[in-house]
Amino acid sequence: MKPLLRLEEPAPAPARRFALFDLGFRPFYLLASVFAALSIPLWALQFSGWLREPYLAGPLWHAHEMLFGFTLAVIVGFLFTAGRNWTNQPTPTGWPLAALAALWLAARLLVLTPYALAAAAANIAFPLAAALALAVPFVKARNQRNYFFIGLLALLALASAVIHLSQLGLLALPPGRGVQVALDVVLFILSVMGGRVIPMFTNNGVPGAAASRRPWVEKAALGSVLALIVLDVLGIDGAPLAVVAALACAAHAARWALWQPWKTLRVPLVWVLHLAYLWVPLHLALRVAGVLGLAAPSLAVHALTVGAVGGMVIGMMTRTARGHTARPLRADGYEVTCYVLVALAALVRVGGPLLAPAGLVHAVLLSAALWSAGFGLYAVRYWPILSRPRLDGRPG
C-alpha cells in the first residue's frame, strides 16, 4: 500500500556566498560599467574646462581610458568566459582573476598620478597578462581557431606602449598612432565577435529571421579591417586609407543587411546588437569623410566607440551575464532603459556636432550624462547578479 503522504527533505536554498571571482565576466563587467559611469563625466568636465588634466593630457587620457580601461576590461571578461566554453579548459578564477582585476584597477588609478613610469608599466602589463592567461587554455586545447585573440591582446599592449613611451619622450612616434591602431584592433575584435554571435542570436531569438552569412562578404569585411590596421601601423593616410575605408564600409553594410535587422524590433536582446553594429559602417563612412575633409575625424572615432562599442558592450554584458548566471534570456525594463540611454548617447555625440558644430560642448555634456546613466544603471542592476552564484548551482 502506497503512503498517503510522502515526507522529503527540503531542497537546500541556493548558497549566498560571494561569487564575483567565479568567472571572468563577473569582475570585469562590473568594473567596466562602474568605470564607464564615472570616467566619462570626469572627461566631460575636463573638456569643458572644469577639471585639471591628468598625466595623459587633453583628449589622450579620455581616448586611452576608453580603450585600455573600459573596452579592454569587457574584452578580457568576455574572452575569459567564452574561452572556457571554447576549450573546455579553466580560465582564471579566484585569486588569479582577482589579481588581474587589481592590476587593471591599478592601471586606471596610476594614470591619474604623476608616476608616469608606473602607469606605463601597469597599462602595458595588463593586456600581456590577459594574453598569457588566455594562451594557457587555448594551447592546452589546441584551439588554433582562436589563437589570434592572443595576438590581438599583445598588439593592444604594444599600442599602449607606443602611447606611454611617446608621452614620456622615449619614442619618436605620435601617441595618436597608438590610439588609432588600438581603435582598429577593437574594430576587428568587434567585427569578428559580431559576425559570430549576431546572426546566431538573431536566428535563435527571432523565429523565421533567417539571418545569413556569405563567405565573400565575411572575407571582405574582416580583410578590409585588417588592411586598415596595416595602413594605420605604417602611418599611411590620404587616398589609400579613404579607398580601403570605403570598401570596408560597403562590406560591413552588406553584412549587416544579411542579418535581417528589421525583423528583430520586438526582441530587445537582439535589436540592441543590430543597432550597435549599424555604427560600424557609419564609423567607416565618417572615416572616409574625415580623410576628405568633409567631417571632423573625432566623429568617426565616436561613432565607433560610443555607438558600436558602447551598444555592443551593453547588449553583450546583459545577455552573457544573464546566460552565465542561469537567468532567462529576456530583457526587462531596466535593460531596455540601458540600451536606449547608450543609443541616445551615441546619437547625441555624433549627430549633434555633425548637424550643429557650434554646440559641441553641449553635445559632449549631454552625451556624457546619457552614457553615465546607462552604464550606472547596469552597475546598480547587475551588482547582485554578478556577485552571487548561478541560480542553478553550477560553477561559473
* Structural domains of the chain sorted by starting position, each given as residue range(s) with its CATH number in brackets: 25-387 (1.20.210.10)
Grid coordinates representing 278? 549599424
DSSP 140-177: HHT-GGGTHHHHHHHHHHHHHHHHHHHHTTSSSS-HHH
Amino acid in position 183 = L
Instruction: Work out whether the CA dihedral 361, 365, 367, 368 comes out positive or negative.
Output: positive
Give the dihedral of Cα atoms 259, 260, 264, 265; nearest 10 deg: 130
The pTM (predicted TM-score) of the whole model is 0.93
pLDDT value of position 13: 44
Q: Rounded distance, CA 283 to CA 302, Å?
A: 8
Q: Rounded distance, CA 65 to CA 31, Å?
A: 13
Amino acid in position 8 = E
Strands (E), the chain: none
User: For each successive 10 residues of the chain (396 residues), what is the average pLDDT?
Assistant: 42 67 97 94 73 67 93 98 96 97 96 90 98 97 96 96 92 91 97 96 93 96 97 94 98 98 96 98 97 94 98 97 95 96 98 92 92 97 96 89
Q: Rounded distance, CA 69 to CA 67, Å?
A: 6
H-helix or E-strand spanning residue 311: helix 310-324
Grid coordinates representing 99? 589579481
Q: Single out the residue of 116, 97, 98 nearest to residue 107, CA to CA.
A: 116
Distances (CA, A) of 89 to 1, 100, 113, 278, 326: 51, 18, 38, 34, 20
pLDDT value of position 158: 96
Distances (CA, A) of 202 to 199, 260, 267, 321, 337: 5, 8, 9, 18, 21
Q: Rounded distance, CA 207 to CA 174, Å?
A: 50
Q: Rounded distance, CA 26 to CA 396, Å?
A: 9
Grid coordinates representing 210? 533567417
Q: Rounded distance, CA 65 to CA 99, Å?
A: 20
DSSP 245-265: HHHHHHHHHHHHHHT-GGG-T
pLDDT value of position 15: 52
pLDDT value of position 255: 98
- Chain centroid to CA 392: 28
Instruction: Work out whether the CA dihedral 212, 247, 63, 43 comes out positive or negative.
Output: negative
Q: Single out the residue of 98, 84, 95, 88 nearest to residue 27, CA to CA.
A: 98
User: How many CA atoms lie within 13 Å of 31's alpha carbon, on the beta-carbon side?
Assistant: 31
DSSP 294-307: SS-HHHHHHIIIII
Residue 303's contacts (CB-CB under 8 Å, 6 or more residues apart) are: 279, 282, 283, 286, 346, 350
Grid coordinates representing 308? 558600436
Q: Rounded distance, CA 222 to CA 251, Å?
A: 9
H-helix or E-strand spanning residue 108: helix 94-110
Distances (CA, A) of 55 to 24, 37, 167, 343: 30, 21, 9, 31
